């Protein structure tokens, strides 16, 4: 893969990660009362936390790589 293709791919990954993080943050911000009515609410919340941590780490690594 050429450097240009690599840069385009990295930017596309960055866009997807940021978009996913926004979605996760919005879900986390939803009122607890709404979550309690959902099946497997606790499992979903734990999954969101883990996913958010993974995305934060990936974004930080990509930013550090650019420096």
The answer to whether residues 19 and 55 touch, using CB atoms and an 8 Å cutoff, is no
Which residue range is the domain that position 56 belongs to?
A: 3-66
Dist. CA 42–CA 35, nearest whole Å: 8
Domain count, the chain: 1
Taking only the tens place, the pLDDT of each residue in 41-59 is 778 778 878 888 888 888 8
User: Average pLDDT, stretch 23-52?
Assistant: 77
What confidence category does residue 1 fall into, taking pLDDT thresholds of 50, 70 and 90? low
């Amino acid at each position: 893969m050429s450097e240009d293709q690599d840069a385009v791919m990295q930017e596309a990954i960055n866009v997807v990660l940021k978009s996913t993080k926004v979605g996760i943050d919005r879900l986390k911000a939803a009122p607890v009362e709404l979550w309690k009515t959902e099946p497997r609410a606790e499992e979903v919340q734990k999954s969101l936390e883990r996913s958010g941590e993974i995305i934060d780490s990936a974004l930080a690594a990509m930013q550090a790589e650019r420096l």
